[in-house]
Every structure is written in C-alpha cells, then in structure tokens.
Structure 1
C-alpha cells in the first residue's frame, strides 16, 4: 500500500463531484445487464446515503455472486457517479485480497497497515470509498480489524468515518443465489419475480458460516454493520448477447449480430441440456470477441 498523502485538502474539489442520482439510475438500468435485484438495492442504498447530510454510520455494501455477473462493474458505476475521475480518483481505494494481503503469517501487519491507510485517507477526504475485492480469498479475521470504522461512532480519535463508503465483493454465497434462480426457473417463474427478500437472509447466513469467506463469523455481520447483502444473479443467454453488443461498441466496432450470437452460443451454460444460465457470465467476453471478429 502506497503513501496516502495527496497534497492535503487542496485537490479535494478537483476530484469530488455532486452525486449523480439520475446518472447512477441510468447506468444501472442500461449497462448492468440482468441484475434487477442488485440494481434496485444499490440505487436505493447509495442515493439514500448520499442524500443524508448526517449519516449515523458509513455505507457498507456486500456484493455477492458468481464471477462475471457484474460486481466489479457495479462498484465502478457507483464510483463514476460520485467522483469526477471514477475509479482513478485519489479517493477511491481498491484492495484485492491476493495482491494486498497474500500471506496469512503477515495478518497482524496487514491489520495495522489497513487501519492506518483508511484513517489517513478519511482524514483527507471524509467521502472516501474503499472497495475490497476477492473477499472469499481474504484471511478470516482481517476485515474485523476495521469494525470500529464501520460502527455508529461520531468519531474515533478525532476522525469521523460516517461519510465513507465500504464495498465488499465476493463469490461466496454464489451457490445460494444460483439455487434460488434455478428454483424460480424450475417453477416456471420469471426472473423479475425474484426479489431481495428471497435472498438476503439466506445469503448473509451462508456467507457468515462459510469458512472460505473473509466474512466467516465476522463481527461485521454479527453486529449488523453490513447495510445490504446484494445478490447478483447468474446471467442468461440473452444477457450474454447484451454484453456482447455493448463490448463490440466499446471496442469501436459496428455491432455484428452473427459475431455476437456465435460467441454467445459457444459459451458454457447450465443446466446442461436446457442451457439457461451462463457459467462464465460476461467476464471473458472482451477477450473472446477478439477471436470471432
């Protein structure tokens, strides 16, 4: 982790912009494919928090689902609608478990570094965002070290963390989410009939009791400091097509229906015979499209 100094407060207003409620709503609707549950929860949670001039605690979101379902992308959309420079802002901090906290033997050092990093950056910018990726690979106990920063305190040693945003990204709980989606499909129900109430309680319990999760038996869950457990559903064939169209446009190509369909059909789906849900999601589409173009 690098030095958190960024020339004090002088650059603050060069990076922070007014929160774009309509922008986030548009982005979640038009760019985050197949995630109506996650989009609704994220929009309400972030908008409510940003419009609260005196929040009682930081906003804490825990995003769960299989790889390729849009968790990282959703956190990017949040950042882009709060900070002028989005993910490249000096006030957005991304931690990846395998890169930043690789060795279990160094967990005490990581705890100290993490506490100092968060405190230093929130001291500079109260509206700092911290994103923790690969929570399912994080050593149990590490994330508990930041519990005081997520709790209902006016300040700790002169620093208030109430305006900060913490986002956890994890594959843990993905199986539970997939099972709910499968159950709905088997009953002939539509995807839009799945709501947060069908997933949140079971998801939080699944993550809390998962020994391979960085949130295993964490006090953050036990003390109800995670505001929302946000489920990301497995993507269907039609969503892969949407991802393909979007990625072709992003690469500067004229969207080609034959190319996108060929790419989408060659991916793996489950159940095996019906081929309803994508195993990879949109994660590999960018590189795969290069093969078909």
Structure 2
C-alpha cells in the first residue's frame, strides 16, 4: 500500500511543478531539478503516465519527417531536403556538436510550419512536448535595455533543461526583432563537443526563424525564373553564402553574432517566395484538413481566396507577398458562405 501512496505523492509533486512551469516557464527549471532525484527512484512508474526522458517519449529517428514535410509544405524543395538530411544525420551517429539551423525567408513561406513538423516527428507529445521550447522575440525579448537579463534567462533555461534531458528542441522565432547580441548566449551550448559535468549538450537542436535575406531570396528566385530556369534546379549552394552574410550584417539577433563568426550554424536554409500554384496547394490542404464538403465549389472557393491575396511583381503577379500566411483565415471566411447554403 505504501508504494501507491508514495507514487501518488510524487505525481502530485510533479503535477504542481508542471502548473508552475505554465505560469512562469523561465523560472520552472529550478523547481524541476528539486525533484529530479526523487523522480529517478520512481522513473519506471512515472514514465508510464507522464512525459520523461525515455525512449517511450523521445524519437531518436524521424522516418516520417520527409513525408510529413512534402505533404504539408509547398514550394520549398531546398528546405525540405536540407532539414531531413540535417535531422537524420544528427541522430544517425553520435553528434560532434548540437545542431543549429537558421530558417530564412519571407513571412508565410513555411518556416514556423517546418519547425512544428520537426517537433511532431521527434516527440511522442509532438509540439506540445515539454522538451520543445518556443521563444518569440516580440513576446520574450522585446526590450533592448534588458539584453543582459534575457541572456541570463536563456542560459539558465537551456542549462536547466539539458541537465534534465539532452534531447531538447529550442526554437527562436522572429530573430530579426531580437536585440543584437542576445543569441550569442547560445554559442557555448552549440559549441560544446564533450559533456561538461555530466551534462550532454550535443543532442540538442536549435532552430532560428527570421527574415534575413528575404529580398535577396526574392531577387534570386525571380531572376532564375526570368532566365528560364526551373525552380527545382536551385541548390543550397546557390544561396547559403549570401544568407550567411545577410544574417551577419542585417539588423537583428544575429547581427555581428559569434554564432555566425564561429560558423556554428549548421545550415542557412532558404525559404523561397511562394508562387500562385503553391498558394493553391495551401488552400486545398486547408480545405481538406477541415473536412469541408465543398468539392463542387472547389475552383470557385480557390479563386475567391486568391483574389483576397496580394501578388508581386505588379506586372506579372507571380509570388504571394504573404506566402500562405493569410490563406487559412481567408479559407475559413469564404467557406462560411458555402456552409450556409
């Protein structure tokens, strides 16, 4: 009987820490560490009910990642191929360092979606996993005068979580809006090549989402199109060097960053501007995901949504200026007219 009582106490304690983490996530690690030793004693029981650093909850391979990306992300052959190869390579053998990926391009081109699909492929609890940490510049790092405070908070958060489990995913969104220098806090964590005081740093993944190089990517893609080249013929080597420079010199979190200077970012991944055909795929995908029975009106709905979006250049209207970002809300609005019929 004592075993059930002890287990109940442990679960209640851990439940309390989870609630505390939801209220104040940047100070929850210390509380988690307090019960880490206790939880180890009951790990077989605890891990049956709650997410923990255990193969039941962690996926060290991502066999379905490519299919998931190709099914949900459109017009981004470079991003899909590079992401899949980078993730698979990171887990195939013992990594020499943490994996750091920079997603760069216009808004609405799929950066956030790809990051979420990576999380879903690596954790049983998908993007809601406690091992997935999503930071927004406008929400968490909006005041330049608090740069030192932000650096301390990021350092403590990463260190604390990696102490609990090495298989963590850290995502930093809107990095172009972050105070310069904040992301330099990541350098020692990405650069570690051996465990330090028993903490394994090399299994972690860091994903940086930003728009550095967006204009360059538009010009590059458009010039390639105008010269008669096929979009699929563009290669990572065609863009990576310039994206490296754009990240380093453009205003934002990576400007003059030691991550760039030390070549610690594993890949600068381009998200190309989306053409009309890609936006149409987004529209159809959204309709299918909601199980709307509007097949007889599909063409009409698609054209109505397209009419609500803006395309560029003005004389050719090839690329959506907001990618697929506004597609989802527009589809829902247009669908309402047909749902009422």
TM range (shorter): over 0.9
Q: Within the alignment, does 1:224 sit opposite 2:263 as a pair?
A: yes
Structure 2 counterpart of 1:289, from 322, 325, 331: 331
Structure 2 counterpart of 1:3, from 25, 28, 31: 28
- Is the Cα–Cα contact under 8 Å of residues 95 and 203 in structure 2 kept in the other structure? yes
Kindly indicate whether structure 1 or structure 2 has the higher relative contact order, using CA contacts under 8 Å at least 6 residues apart: 1
Q: How does 1:127-206 map to 2 (within 5 A)?
A: 127-206=167-246
Q: Within the alignment, does 1:103 sit opposite 2:143 as a pair?
A: yes
- Is the Cα–Cα contact under 8 Å of residues 15 and 90 in structure 1 kept in the other structure? no
User: Could you tell me which residue of structure 2 aligns to residue 15 of structure 1?
Assistant: 57
Cα distance per residue 1:116-160 (max 9 Å; x no partner): 100110111101000000110011001102211110431334322
- Is the Cα–Cα contact under 8 Å of residues 139 and 214 in structure 1 kept in the other structure? yes
Q: How does 1:238-253 map to 2 (within 5 A)?
A: 238-253=277-292
Q: Distance in 2 between matches of 1:151 and 1:18?
A: 21
Structure 2 counterpart of 1:26, from 41, 63, 67: 67
Query: Secondary structure of the equivalent of 2:28?
Result: coil
- Is the Cα–Cα contact under 8 Å of residues 60 and 165 in structure 1 kept in the other structure? yes
- Is the Cα–Cα contact under 8 Å of residues 171 and 206 in structure 2 kept in the other structure? yes
Q: How does 1:60-139 map to 2 (within 5 A)?
A: 60-139=100-179
Q: Distance in 1 between matches of 2:275 and 2:307?
A: 11
Shift of 1:189: 1.1
Flag the structure with higher helix content: 2
Q: Distance in 2 between matches of 1:284 and 1:41?
A: 26
Query: Secondary structure of the equivalent of 1:57?
Result: coil
| Structure 2 segments unaligned to the other structure (5+ residues) | 1-25, 44-51, 336-341
Query: Secondary structure of the equivalent of 2:172?
Result: strand
Q: Distance in 2 between matches of 1:241 and 1:153?
A: 45
- Is the Cα–Cα contact under 8 Å of residues 166 and 203 in structure 2 kept in the other structure? yes
- TM-score, normalised on structure 1? 0.95
Q: Distance in 1 between matches of 2:273 and 2:194?
A: 39
User: Could you tell me which residue of structure 1 aligns to residue 86 of structure 2?
Assistant: 45
Q: Distance in 2 between matches of 1:251 and 1:181?
A: 32
Shift of 1:205: 0.6
Cα distance per residue 1:209-261 (max 9 Å; x no partner): 11x22100101011010000000000000011100011111222135232022
Q: Distance in 1 between matches of 2:82 and 2:146?
A: 36
Q: Distance in 1 between matches of 2:201 and 2:170?
A: 12
- Is the Cα–Cα contact under 8 Å of residues 192 and 201 in structure 2 kept in the other structure? no
Q: Within the alignment, does 1:269 sit opposite 2:311 as a pair?
A: yes
Q: Distance in 2 between matches of 1:147 and 1:156?
A: 15
Shift of 1:190: 1.3
Residue 141 to residue 178, structure 1, CA distance change in 2 (3 Å) = same
Aligned length: 290
Shift of 1:2: 4.5
Q: Distance in 2 between matches of 1:269 and 1:128?
A: 38
